[in-house]
Each structure stands twice: as structure tokens, then as C-alpha cells.
């Protein structure tokens, strides 16, 4: 029985988890680095302990320090949130060895899905469409050259242990192949300690579609519909919405059914996300990767289905059955999320840490704010720059867009630069409103989105 959970994270996701635990009457233990002593998650938790210095490697990524606190505090489970140790199979395994429940899938499943070429192979074996490419990691430059020639340029080189937009390089011609391969392998080794790379055909114009799944230990698997996460800058998501309104219901059903099939095939337990590329040229979808954790954008799925995904994660980890069947899941209306970063869009989105002199949140019917900041809070420069997420729900996409516009325009964050002006321009853009965009939209329109021109 889970009665006490250590939250192995910081910021808005730590706050989100703690609030879910409070609703379930579960005691919480927060961890923090030296510079996060006054963070909101440490204030809201029942207990809070310093886990190391300001650097992630010495605090939020330090296995033994975190587990020492978990053992001393006699916690029943650890919730890793997203990022940091959420997809680290070694950390999950250490929790298992210490009889602490890791709130997520088993360590062997994390490992299997975390190695991207292995995940591709698994999906292919189960009839899930994958992007044409290498069957395994590339062993030499000569092999890479042969594979690239076979599938045709452009291609994309991907680190098997990659994530967060790192370890990826697009190659348009053969003359650039060897140099790009060296660069990706070097980045992958530095970022992930694994320089193995595989090759895929590069789909030039696509939508990024993902399916939220839930699975318990009793082999019950359901999906919560799809999210469109196409709007990105440098492979970092900016705006997410659910449902996807530019795909037919038949296409969405096919993708969702494939996701459920894949989830069952690997014996998955917990909340997870199957991510697809939807090729706008050929109207085909392909498996991209599986995220074995809660996603930043899980909120939009919650808003359209009424299912609390964090609570479901905890219940599944507590050996309970899913509280919903597939027929219970009804997508209502439209939800949109905007990620708010402490960055200066007019200075190439450079980080803008510092003291938040004033923070006035948006409010209103169907408006939700997930954040870890407050007035007079000091944003440290050592972590991801996302400081809040605004989520709105409307009867349809047009109403949701209008609500998000008002939410962004009525927010006050003084003391630091944020991406709110940039997001206002994006939400006001006519092509966005018409749902006429692909993966290149932000990069092609970046000057208009940063400037005062609202693109209307």
C-alpha cells in the first residue's frame, strides 16, 4: 500500500504530483538542490530535504543521495515526474532492489523503449509502421553510406539513447554524411554516454501526433485520444492541443489502436505516450518513439477526458485496476497548452533567470495554470527555463484559442523576460487559427512571431 511518496523532481511537475498526492491523502517528501530551497514544491510537500548542490548531476540526478533520503524517510514509492531520472532504467532498478515502488514501468521496459533502435525493432515485429531506415545501429561510415543510398536522401541520424532534441542531425546529401555522423556520435556520447546511432528516412513535412495510454498490471490498456505537438522550435515543443482537428477520425482511430497494440505487446504498466510522425505528403503515420513517463503536455489529455493521469499513475503503481474502460473515455471539446519559458525571444531565446518581482496568473472558466513560481521567487539559471504551463479548454478549437489569447494577455510576470509575447503572436497567427501548419511553421515564420507583427 502506497502511503508515502518521494517526488524526485522540481518545478511545476513536482507541484503537480504533490497536489495529486494530497488529494489521495498520501504523504509527500520533496527533494531540492541548494538553490531550490525556497521553491514552491518544497513549501507544499509534507517534508523536504536537500539532496545536493545546484548542479543537476549532484542533486536531481544523484542516485544514492535520493535513495538515501527515500530509505531514511521510509517512503513506499518514488515518482520521477518527467526529465531527470524519469526514464533512467538504472535508477528504476535501484528502486526495485530497495523495495521502493518506482511509479512508472518496470526497469527492463524503460531500457527496451529507451534504446530507440530496439524500440523500432519491437514495433516493427508487432506490425506497427516505422519510418524506413536501418534495422539496427550503424556500425561504420561505409554501412551508413549504403543505407542512406538505399532509402534515399534526405535522411536523419538519431542517437539510440537520444531525447529532448539532442543527438539528431538531418543530412541532405552524401557529401555531408560522414561529418554529420561524427557530430551526432560525439554529441550522443557527451549527452547520453552512448554514441550509437541509427538512420531513418527524413520526413520533410509532418505533424507530430502522440497517443496517451494507460496500462495496469492486469493487462488492461486504454488510450485517451491524441495530442498534436507539431509546433516546435529546435525540436522543443511550444504549443500542444487535443484533439487533433486536421486528421480524420479513421486515421486517429488507427493510430490509437496501434498505440494500444504496442503497449500490450511490450507488457507495459503505467502512463505512457506513443509518438508518431504523420507524413503530410503521403498521408501515412509512422512510429517515432515511446515516452515511458508522464509528459509535460499530459494536461491537455486530462482536460478533454476528465481523467487525472497522475492519480492513475499512482493507483496503477499501487496494484489497482484502471478506473476507466475504453468506452468510458469520451473526448469533449478542445484543450490547448502553451509552455511559458523564462527566455528572451528577442535575444535568440536566451535564458532569463532572476527574481520574479510580480506574478499575476490568468484565471477564468476553463483556464488552468501549472507552475512552480510565485511573486518574489528567484528563478535559478541551472535548470530548464520552463516556468509555467497555461492550459485552456473550450467547446471547440476556436473557443480554446480565444481563451488562450486572453490568458496570455492578462498575465503579468515582472522581473524576467518570458516567451509570452512570442506565444501571443503565435496564437494570433491566421495560419495557426486555420490549422494550416507543419513541423517547419515556427522556423519559417520566426521573424514575424518574434516581432510586433501579429501575423493576422
Q: How many CB atoms lie within 10 A of CB 452?
A: 7
Beta carbons within 8 Å of 62's beta carbon, 6+ residues apart? 51, 52
The string of pLDDT tens digits covering residues 121-151 is 899 888 899 998 988 889 999 999 999 999 9
- pLDDT at position 456 over 70: no
Encode 46-59: b = buried (16+ Cβ within 10 Å), e = exposed: eebbebbeeebeeb
What pLDDT shows up at residue 455?
A: 37
The string of pLDDT tens digits covering residues 341-400 is 999 999 999 999 999 999 999 999 999 999 999 999 999 999 999 999 999 999 999 999
Give the closest residue to 162 by CA, choosing from 213, 205, 119: 119
Domain spans in the chain, listed from the N-terminal domain onward: 4-103, 132-201, 206-450
Between CA 361 and CA 363 the distance in angstroms is 6
Q: Tell me how long the chain is.
A: 456
- pLDDT at position 279 over 50: yes
- pTM of the shown model: 0.93
Q: Is 242 in contact with 249 (CB distance < 8 Å)?
A: no
What pLDDT shows up at residue 190?
A: 83
> Is 120 noted as a catalytic residue in this protein?
no
What pLDDT shows up at residue 276?
A: 96
pLDDT band at 320 (very low <50, low <70, confident <90, very high): very high
Beta carbons within 8 Å of 425's beta carbon, 6+ residues apart? 448, 449, 450, 451, 453, 454, 455
- What CATH number belongs to 4-103? 3.40.50.20
Query: 232 forms bridges with which residues in the sheet?
Result: 237
Q: Over the chain, what is the mean pLDDT?
A: 95
What pLDDT shows up at residue 45?
A: 98
Give the closest residue to 105 by CA, choosing from 192, 18, 20, 214: 214
pLDDT band at 452 (very low <50, low <70, confident <90, very high): low
Give the closest residue to 325 by CA, choosing from 249, 260, 244: 260
Query: What is the torsion angle, in degrees rounded to the nearest 10, for the CA atoms of residue 143, residue 144, residue 149 and residue 155?
Result: 160
Q: How far is CA 320 from CA 75, 220, 353, 357, 441, in A?
A: 19, 11, 42, 44, 43
Give the closest residue to 414 by CA, choosing from 345, 340, 357: 357
Task: Render 234-290 in DSSP notation, one character per residue.
Answer: TTEE-EEEES-SSS-HHHHHHHHHHHHHHHHHTT--EEEEEEEEEETTTTEEEEEEE
Three-state DSSP at 38 gives coil
pLDDT band at 163 (very low <50, low <70, confident <90, very high): low
What pLDDT shows up at residue 372?
A: 97
61: left (phi over 0), alpha (psi -120 to 50) or beta: alpha
Beta carbons within 8 Å of 235's beta carbon, 6+ residues apart? 164, 165, 168
Q: Is 131 in contact with 163 (CB distance < 8 Å)?
A: no
Domains 132-201 and 206-450 share a fold: no
Return the CATH architecture of domain 132-201.
Answer: 2-Layer Sandwich (3.30)
Catalytic-role residue among 293, 315, 339, 397: 293
Q: What percent of the chain has pLDDT over 70?
A: 98
Mean pLDDT over residues 240-266, rounded?
Answer: 96
Q: How far is CA 140 from CA 137, 146, 198, in A?
A: 9, 10, 11
Q: Which helix (H) or strand (E) holds 142?
A: helix 141-151
Between CA 8 and CA 14 the distance in angstroms is 8
Q: Is 418 in contact with 363 (CB distance < 8 Å)?
A: no
What pLDDT shows up at residue 228?
A: 98
Bond prior to 243 in cis (omega within 30° of 0): yes
The string of pLDDT tens digits covering residues 13-34 is 999 999 999 999 999 999 999 9
* Record: fold of 206-450: D-amino Acid Aminotransferase; Chain A, domain 1 (3.30.470)
What pLDDT shows up at residue 318?
A: 98
What pLDDT shows up at residue 191?
A: 79
Sheet holding 270-279, edge to edge: 284-291, 270-279, 206-215, 221-228, 239-242, 334-341, 386-394, 367-371
The string of pLDDT tens digits covering residues 75-97 is 999 999 999 999 999 999 999 99
- pLDDT at position 454 over 80: no
Between CA 255 and CA 433 the distance in angstroms is 24
pLDDT band at 453 (very low <50, low <70, confident <90, very high): very low
The string of pLDDT tens digits covering residues 323-342 is 999 999 999 999 999 999 99
Three-state DSSP at 129 gives coil
Q: What percent of the chain has pLDDT over 90?
A: 89
184 alpha carbon, distance to own chain's centre? 22
Give the closest residue to 94 by CA, choosing from 118, 115, 68: 68
Between CA 278 and CA 287 the distance in angstroms is 9
Amino acid at each position: 500500500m502506497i502511503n508515502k511518496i518521494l517526488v524526485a523532481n522540481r518545478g511545476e511537475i513536482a507541484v503537480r504530483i504533490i497536489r495529486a498526492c494530497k488529494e489521495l491523502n498520501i504523504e509527500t517528501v520533496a527533494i531540492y538542490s541548494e538553490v531550490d530551497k525556497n521553491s514552491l514544491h518544497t513549501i507544499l510537500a509534507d517534508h523536504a530535504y536537500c539532496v545536493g548542490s545546484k548542479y543537476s548531476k549532484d542533486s536531481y540526478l544523484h542516485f544514492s543521495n535520493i535513495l538515501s533520503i527515500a530509505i531514511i524517510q521510509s517512503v513506499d514509492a518514488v515518482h520521477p515526474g518527467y526529465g531527470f531520472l524519469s526514464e533512467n532504467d538504472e535508477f528504476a532498478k535501484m528502486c526495485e532492489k530497495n523495495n521502493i515502488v518506482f511509479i512508472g514501468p518496470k526497469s527492463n521496459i524503460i531500457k527496451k523503449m529507451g534504446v530507440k533502435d530496439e524500440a523500432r525493432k519491437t514495433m516493427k515485429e508487432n506490425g506497427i509502421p516505422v519510418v524506413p531506415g536501418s534495422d539496427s545501429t550503424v556500425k561504420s561510415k561505409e554501412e551508413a553510406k549504403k543505407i542512406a543510398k538505399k532509402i534515399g536522401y534526405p535522411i536523419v541520424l538519431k542517437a539510440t539513447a537520444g531525447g529532448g532534441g539532442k543527438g539528431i542531425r538531418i543530412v541532405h546529401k552524401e557529401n555531408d554524411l560522414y561529418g554529420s555522423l561524427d557530430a551526432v556520435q560525439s554529441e550522443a556520447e557527451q549527452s547520453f554516454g552512448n554514441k550509437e546511432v541509427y538512420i531513418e528516412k527524413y520526413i520533410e513535412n509532418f505533424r507530430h501526433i502522440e497517443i496517451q495510454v494507460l496500462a495496469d498490471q492486469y493487462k488492461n490498456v486504454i488510450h485517451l485520444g491524441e495530442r498534436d505537438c507539431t509546433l516546435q522550435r529546435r525540436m522543443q515543443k511550444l504549443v500542444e492541443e487535443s484533439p487533433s482537428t486536421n486528421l480524420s477520425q479513421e486515421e486517429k482511430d488507427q493510430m490509437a489502436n496501434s498505440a494500444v497494440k504496442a503497449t500490450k505487446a511490450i507488457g507495459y504498466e503505467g502512463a505512457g505516450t506513443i509518438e508518431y510522425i504523420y507524413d503530410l505528403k503521403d498521408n501515412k503515420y509512422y512510429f517515432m518513439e515511446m515516452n515511458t513517463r508522464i509528459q509535460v503536455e499530459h494536461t491537455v489529455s486530462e482536460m478533454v477526458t476528465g481523467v487525472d493521469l497522475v492519480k492513475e499513475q499512482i493507483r496503477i503503481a499501487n496494484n489497482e485496476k484502471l478506473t476507466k474502460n475504453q468506452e468510458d473515455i469520451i473526448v469533449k471539446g478542445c484543450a490547448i497548452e502553451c509552455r511559458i519559458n523564462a527566455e528572451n525571444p528577442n535575444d535568440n531565446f536566451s535564458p532569463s533567470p532572476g527574481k520574479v518581482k510580480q506574478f499575476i496568473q490568468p484565471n477564468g472558466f476553463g483556464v488552468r495554470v501549472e507552475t512552480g513560481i510565485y511573486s518574489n521567487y528567484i528563478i535559478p539559471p541551472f535548470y530548464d527555463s520552463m516556468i509555467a504551463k497555461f492550459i485552456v479548454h473550450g467547446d471547440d478549437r476556436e473557443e480554446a484559442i480565444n481563451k488562450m489569447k486572453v490568458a496570455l494577455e492578462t498575465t503579468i510576470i515582472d522581473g524576467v523576460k518570458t516567451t509570452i509575447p512570442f506565444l501571443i503572436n503565435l496564437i494570433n497567427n491566421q495560419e495557426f487559427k486555420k490549422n494550416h501548419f507543419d513541423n517547419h511553421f515556427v522556423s519559417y515564420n520566426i521573424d514575424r512571431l518574434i516581432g510586433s507583427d501579429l501575423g493576422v
